[in-house]
Amino acid sequence: METNVLEVHNLRTSFYTDDGEVKAVDGVSFTLPKGKTLGIVGESGSGKSITALSILQLLASNGKIIDGEIRFKGENLIGYSDRKMRDIRGNAISMIFQEPMTSLNPVFTIGQQISESLIKHQKLSKRDALLKSVDLLKLVGIPSPEARVRNYPYELSGGMRQRVMIAMALACDPEILIADEPTTALDVTIQAQILQLIKELQHRLGMSVVFITHDLGVVAETCDYVAVMYAGQVVEYSDVFTIFKEPKHPYTIGLLNSLPRHDMEQDKLEPIRGNVPNVRDMPIGCRFSPRCPAATDLCRAELPELSKDDKGNDVRCWIYSDNWDGEMEVNVYGEKRIAQGRGVKAVFSD
Amino acid sequence: MAGKTVEVINGPKRSSPRIEAYKAFWKRLSKNKAAVVGGFFILLFIVVSIVGPFLTTKDPTEVMVLNKLQPPSAEFWFGTDNFGRDIFTRIIHGMSLTLKVGFLSVAIGGSIGVIFGIVSGYYGGKIDTIIMRVMDVLLAFPGILLALAIVSVLGGSLQNVIIAVAVFSVPAFARIVRSSTLSVRQLEYIDAVKALGASDFRIIFKHILPNVVSPIIVQATLRIATAVLTASGLSFLGLGAQPPEPEWGAMLNDGRTYMKTAPHLMLFPGMMIAIVVLAFNIFGDGLRDALDPKMKK
């Protein structure tokens, strides 16, 4: 039976600035089954990274989780003391960051840095921690790890540093690895290697991975489940096949339409028109409504809930809800769709 | 396993990058001739202050009325003062007093300032505001005036001079460390160690402090010069070292009455204060250039 190692329910995170409250994350729900990979996709500023930081409670001091649940193996992490969270961080849940060039402390050798969490969480001696660091470097595919362990970060390339970051994150056999755009700053060839490495390690160590990215290619490559985020909310959550074969939310469809495809002729790519709404000035209704080609008055007036369809996938769109009045044809980026409330699937028609 | 252990712990033979960084630092420092001279003098002062008192044949406080106000000669190299005490011997013995005040006050004031600065920069918000406003208040007083006020409250002694100078060194360190901390804090590796479960204490002292240490070293060197000057000033005003201690500032004060008839009473202590301050200043400037090559120009 599949168990969910991480369940996030209706997470809301706000930042309090001089200009007022900024709702960076406003309704994020997803589940991560054990041993699987979840992709969180969305454009810049959609709240992906804040979601990840909220899970580890590493928000800046003006940020606060105001509502929701983060269940790690059934236990709600919200309300944990800082001390208890420190035992979770790097031990049960660890994270790798986007920018490998600045993610390592320049004044320590990489061996010292990998050892740090081993000494803290597993109470190893310095010597044992260093030996384990060598094994970890070997695990992440760094050649001659015995020599590299004594290197300083500036002596390594970006790809190598990201491998070191992965080694650090894996040091204590975490159950969840959160990877925040781990390949964005790397060369394409290195990207593929790092993705491959994470996948391989996941299978070998049996951990679950949360992959934060704006690259749908990466998602297709690595993920089992996908949560699509828009303006601080999850708008669609389903398994990776459904997302690519039968995307439901107009935003997801728009995202896919804006990608070049090699399985069909395309004259030109169809972009999503308009801009992401300002966080301080969100639309009253559905946040995607100003840009949505299928938006109705209902969409503009009221925010839809994230609700399950008959396959158990979540979508935040009126078209698929009970409130949608009857059968209706909607035009989503040139694709005719017939939506008829819950239980009736959207039909592709060309 | 045993072989591997040895290899990991001792490492394959290659010169450590840390040693190479030191080498590069020494190379840059030794190119700066003024800094080398300054450093040499500082070293000389330290050696003299340790072994000097054992080498002098005279007692710095021994009064020999018959020899009073002698000009410099083969027997009394720097002459004698109004009590017939040998000025050279007093200068040598005063060296350790001067350095003690300089180093101790900067060590105490610097440590407090560094902690304030790093805490202020790391936590930000209210803590930052409170600490930095207090520092601003301290900075608003001219240094010597603040020290003067503290010493007059605590009473005049060398120990209180150290405390006073330490207090007025705090804000300079706090400010410089705070600004460095602010720039280090927002680097991603701080987030990364947080994500690995490091505590604030650990982040502050293990990850931020080593990265802000070079401005601290430079500031400390330059501050020693200021501390020496302030301490001498306080002693000159009679609030520091008490007679018959051979403190240079106090010696200056003693010689004031005889400025016209026997100027050597003031000349030698004054000269020594100037040389010590100059040496620390030049060396501090050189250190700054060598520690942070980007800052030069």
CATH number of the domain encompassing residue A51: 3.40.50.300
What confidence score (pLDDT) does residue B9 get?
53
Q: Are residue A28 and residue A122 in the same domain, yes or no?
A: no
Q: Which of residues 17-36 of B touch A (CB under 8 A)?
A: 17-18
Q: Are residue A270 and residue A345 in the same domain, yes or no?
A: yes
Residue B279 contacts residue B41 (beta carbons within 8 Å): yes
**DSSP character at residue A331:** E
Residue B97 contacts residue B245 (beta carbons within 8 Å): yes
For chain B, give the mean pLDDT: 84
**How close is the nearest chain B Cα to the Cα of A122, in Å?**
12
Q: Are residue A291 and residue A194 in the same domain, yes or no?
A: no
CA atoms within 13 A on the CB side of B296: 12
CA atoms of A184 and A38, how far apart (whole Å): 17
What confidence score (pLDDT) does residue B238 get?
83
Q: Are residue A326 and residue A264 in the same domain, yes or no?
A: yes
Beta-carbon neighbour count of residue B241 at 10 Å?
28
A contacts of B192 (beta carbons < 8 Å): 95, 97, 103-104, 165, 168
Least confident of A36-50, A106-120, A218-232, A300-314: A300-314
Q: Are residue A258 and residue A238 in the same domain, yes or no?
A: no
Answer whether B8 sits within 8 Å of A104, measured CB to CB.
no
User: Which residue is associated with the tokens 């060369």?
Assistant: A187
**How close is the nearest chain A Cα to the Cα of B75, in Å?**
55
**Of A105, A138, A149, which to mutate for an interface test with B (greatest number of B Cβ within 10 Å)?**
A105
Is pLDDT at A1 greater than 50 in this prediction? no
Residue A189 contacts residue A221 (beta carbons within 8 Å): no
The shortest CB-CB distance from B8 to any of A134, A165, A169 is to A134
Give the model confidence (pLDDT) of A56-108 as tens digits.
988 888 888 988 999 998 889 888 888 889 888 888 999 988 888 888 888 88
Q: Is A110 on the interface with B (CB under 8 A)?
A: no
B79: left (phi over 0), alpha (psi -120 to 50) or beta: left
Q: Are residue A182 and residue A77 in the same domain, yes or no?
A: yes
**How close is the nearest chain A Cα to the Cα of B21, in Å?**
11
Number of domains composing chain A: 3
Residue A260 contacts residue A266 (beta carbons within 8 Å): yes
What confidence score (pLDDT) does residue A336 get?
63
Tokens of B282: 């030049």
Among B110, B119, B121, B64, CA closest to B87:
B64
Answer whether A94 sits within 8 Å of B207, measured CB to CB.
no
Cα of A40 vs its chain's centroid, Å: 3
What confidence score (pLDDT) does residue A344 get?
42
Give the model confidence (pLDDT) of A241-287 as tens digits.
888 888 888 888 888 888 777 776 767 777 788 888 887 788 888 88
Categorize the per-residue pLDDT at A347 as very low, low, confident or very high, splitting at 50, 70 and 90.
very low
In a domain, A187, yes or no: yes
The shortest CB-CB distance from B187 to any of A98, A102, A165 is to A102
What confidence score (pLDDT) does residue B14 get?
52
CA atoms of A193 and A214, how far apart (whole Å): 18
Q: Which whole number is the average pLDDT over B230-234? A: 88
Q: Which residue of chain B has the CA closest to A115?
A: B196
**Of B22, B189, B207, which to mutate for an interface test with A (greatest number of A Cβ within 10 Å)?**
B189
What confidence score (pLDDT) does residue B133 get?
94
**Residues contacting residue B244 through CB under 8 Å, at least 6 positions apart:** B60, B61, B85
A contacts of B182 (beta carbons < 8 Å): none
CA atoms of A205 and A193, how far apart (whole Å): 18
SS (H, E, C) B164-189: HHHHHHHHHHHHHHHHHHHHHHCCHH
CA atoms of B242 and B250, how far apart (whole Å): 8
Tokens of B262: 């026997």
Give the model confidence (pLDDT) of A168-186 as tens digits.
988 888 999 999 888 887 7
Q: Are residue A155 and residue A288 in the same domain, yes or no?
A: no
**How close is the nearest chain B Cα to the Cα of A60, in Å?**
10
| Amino acid (one-letter) located at A104 | L
Least confident of A47-56, A61-70, A304-313, B242-251: A304-313
Q: Which whole number is the average pLDDT over B186-201? A: 86
Least confident of A120-129, A234-243, A341-350, B13-22: A341-350
pTM of this prediction exceeds 0.80? no
* Higher pLDDT among residues B17 and A287, named by residue: A287
Q: Is B124 on the interface with A (CB under 8 A)?
A: yes
Tokens of A336: 């005719």
CA atoms of B102 and A267, how far apart (whole Å): 77
**Residues contacting residue B64 through CB under 8 Å, at least 6 positions apart:** B80, B83, B84, B85
Last residue of a domain, one of A214, A245, A276: A245
Among A122, A150, A155, CA closest to A134:
A150
Tokens of B232: 């001498």
Q: Is A119 on the interface with B (CB under 8 A)?
A: no
Cα-based distances in Å from B146 to A179, A257, A345, B163: 53, 70, 79, 11
What confidence score (pLDDT) does residue A11 get?
92
Q: Are residue A74 and residue A181 in the same domain, yes or no?
A: yes
Beta-carbon neighbour count of residue B183 at 10 Å?
11
Q: Are residue A185 and residue A162 in the same domain, yes or no?
A: no
In chain A, % of residues over pLDDT 90:
18
In a domain, A185, yes or no: yes
Answer whether B189 sits within 8 Å of A105, measured CB to CB.
yes
**DSSP character at residue B78:** T
The third-level CATH classification (topology) of the domain covering B31-69+91-295 is MetI-like fold (1.10.3720)
Give the model confidence (pLDDT) of A189-212 as tens digits.
888 888 888 888 898 888 999 999
Please, which contacts does B43-46 make with residues 24 or more away whose CB atoms are closer than 8 Å?
A: B45/B95, B45/B99, B45/B276, B45/B279, B46/B99
| Amino acid (one-letter) located at A10 | N
**How close is the nearest chain B Cα to the Cα of A94, in Å?**
6
Segments forming the whole domain that contains residue A298: 247-349
CA atoms of B216 and A37, how far apart (whole Å): 46
Categorize the per-residue pLDDT at A324 as very low, low, confident or very high, splitting at 50, 70 and 90.
low
In a domain, A97, yes or no: no
Q: Are residue A167 and residue A298 in the same domain, yes or no?
A: no
**How close is the nearest chain B Cα to the Cα of A235, in Å?**
27
Beta-carbon neighbour count of residue B197 at 10 Å?
23
Last residue of a domain, one of A115, A143, A172: A172
Strand partners, A8: A30, A70
- Predicted-complex ipTM score: 0.74
Last residue of a domain, one of A245, A271, A304: A245
Categorize the per-residue pLDDT at B8 as very low, low, confident or very high, splitting at 50, 70 and 90.
low
Q: Which whole number is the average pLDDT over B140-155? A: 85
CA atoms of A105 and B190, how far apart (whole Å): 8
**Residues contacting residue A264 through CB under 8 Å, at least 6 positions apart:** none
